[in-house]
A and B are shown apart, each in its own frame.
Chain A
Amino acid sequence: MLKVWNRYRHNLLAVSGLVFILLLIVIAIFARQIAPHNPYTMSTAARLTGPSSSHWFGTDQFGRDILSRIIYGSRISLQVGIIAVGVSFIVGTVMGVIAGYSGGWVDSLISRITDVLFALPDILLALVIMAILGPSLNNLMLAIGIVYTPIFSRIARGAVLNIRDSLYIEAAYSMGVKKIKILWHHILPNILSPLIVQVTLSFAFAILSEAALSFLGLGVSPDTPSWGIMLSSAKDWMELAWWTAVFPGIAITLAVFSFNSVGDGLRDALDPRTGTGN
């Protein structure tokens, strides 16, 4: 563990990503205290005013403070990330472990299901699911969760297959240890590191997908302070007010950048052989 951290902390991008994620979490928790204005309060007098000392990032077409909406938007992004990635991590890992561990027709069935889900571009699959479920925050989290489940399933299956025939698993078998106990105590801890890396990277994907689907009008409801929604409405106003289109995008990019660089840093730190990062 210490070794991993020592390798991790030499990666400048990964460390700055981690710092920014911690900052994002603090901002999301204390949004009410930090935000200078109420993110929902409209003001006809302050419509589309540029960045100033009272509105650092300017205001939108309803006179709402953009900085405050970005601060509250961090809650939506993190919530979508946690729930969607949580769903796909749990369901995908269980599917993958069962497939890899039991083999035979169970493995074939689960693998074919993941193949089919992989055969659709992810954003298109999410779009169709959203069209079925209807736009709302809960449905959005579910849709993104479904889309990223096969990745976890595939990684977990591969990792289980890698260690299923190891000597120590065989030894546990021959000593009469129960299957479920072997799974929980021996297999799961040993396949965790690729899964942890995938969790971090999926967080980045989830934030991007939320923004993209909301941008297309198939995500959260239009009055929600979500970064994607803000960009979506900025399309119509940016000729008059560039700030409506610029700041929410910076927020998305920074958040995604942070999760990606942490995921990358973790991958290198957990497995020093793959020198893909810096």
Chain B
Amino acid sequence: MGKYILHRLIIAVPILIGISILTFFLIRLVPGDTVTAILGTNYDPKLAHKLRSEMGLDQPVILQYLIWIGHVFMGDFGTSSFTGQPVLSALMERLPITLELALLSLVVALIIAIPLGVLAAYKHGTRADYASGTFGMFGISVPNFWLGTLLILIFSLHLHLLPSGGYQPLSKGIGENLRSLLMPVIALGTAVAAVTMRSTRSAMLDVLNEDYIKMAKAKGASNARIIWKHGLRNALVPVMTVVGIQIGYLLGGSVIIEQVFALPGMGRLALQAISNRDYSLLQGTILFVAVTFIMINLIIDVIYGWINPSIRYK
């Protein structure tokens, strides 16, 4: 197991280096540099030159990259050129909100999707199966930002039941906190629920055809025992992979959902960085999201290898 984790970590290193190079050079391609953005209409070539040399922007690009990545390694992501706040502290302020949104969406989606997927497989070919199939297809097709908009339209503007946006921190009580996240979680989680339900159904169908299930049936095990103990446990292995892929969707989707519901998370931070041309902030945010994403995938790989030992030896 230790060897397997080490192996996965080693694979992650070149990807992390690649991501840092990509982020750094992509941001350098943005028309107009940070200095142009800071000075705005008061652009003065002399002042710009002075600022550039102060910020090290007149150095060769490769050197700039090495300096930047060296600082990143020491936990210094630079400072926002717009607010002057250190990028890392801005990220740390926003991270819990995005994580809470993504995690709640994932948990709610799994709680709904796995039993539904099992039910659809168990009732294979019946109306219930078709209904869940259509729901699943609908769930992966409906745009999350439109679903969010509709929820606001119905539950905030017409029924006045829920706040149309904004985040209530946990310090204001768990009830208020959850109320502020209820609609965002539904909007973001629906697609995850749909994908998970579909993969649970197909994994369950595969498993239910296995010989050991027939064996359990022949030995007179109850239906419930066959499905939950023998069936689902084995079906969950491929479902895990699909859930892992969904993490990327949750991180990306939160950019849009945070915008719809005015939640001050990392996605909104990235959008603000784009509209303010705050490159050091944008660069830091993207690198941070990518690293988070890679780390989560790494954890999933490890769990996956733990559940299914044959993976470790491939």
Contact = CB atoms under 8 A, between A and B. Distances in A.
Interface of A: 13, 112-113, 115-117, 119-124, 127-129, 131-132, 134, 204, 208, 211-212, 215-216, 218, 231, 234-235, 238-239, 242, 245-246, 249, 252-253, 256-257, 260-261, 264, 274-278
Contacts of B19: 116, 119-120
Contacts of B22: 116-117, 120
A127 B271 CA distance: 8
Interface string B1-43: 0000000000000110011001000110111000000000000
A260 B202 contact: no
Contact of B129 (A117, A249, A278): A278
Contacts of A119: 15, 18-19, 290, 293-294
B150 interface: yes
B30 A115 contact: no
B255 interface: yes
Q: Is the interface of A mostly helix, strand, loop or mixed?
A: helix
Contacts of A239: 157
Contacts of A231: 143, 145-146, 149
Task: Among A120, A208, A256, A257, find the residue whose CB has the most chain B CB atoms closer than 10 A.
Answer: A120
B248 A249 contact: no
A189 to B, nearest CB: 28
Contacts of B146: 211, 231, 245, 249, 252-253
Contacts of A131: 30, 274, 282
B59 interface: no
Given A119-B15, A119-B294, 9 more contacts: A112-B15, A113-B18, A119-B19, A120-B289, A123-B252, A123-B253, A124-B286, A212-B145, A235-B260
Q: Is the interface of B mostly helix, strand, loop or mixed?
A: helix
Given A120-B289, A253-B146, A257-B138, A216 B259 contact: yes
24 contacts: A13-B134, A113-B18, A115-B14, A119-B19, A120-B22, A120-B286, A120-B289, A124-B289, A127-B270, A132-B26, A132-B30, A132-B31, A134-B31, A211-B143, A211-B146, A216-B259, A231-B143, A231-B145, A253-B141, A256-B142, A256-B143, A257-B138, A261-B137, A264-B137
B167 interface: no
B145 A257 contact: no
A266 to B, nearest CB: 14
Interface string B116-160: 000000000000011001100110111101100110110001000
A217 to B, nearest CB: 8
A259 to B, nearest CB: 8
B183 to A, nearest CB: 14
B187 interface: no
Nearest to A201: B140
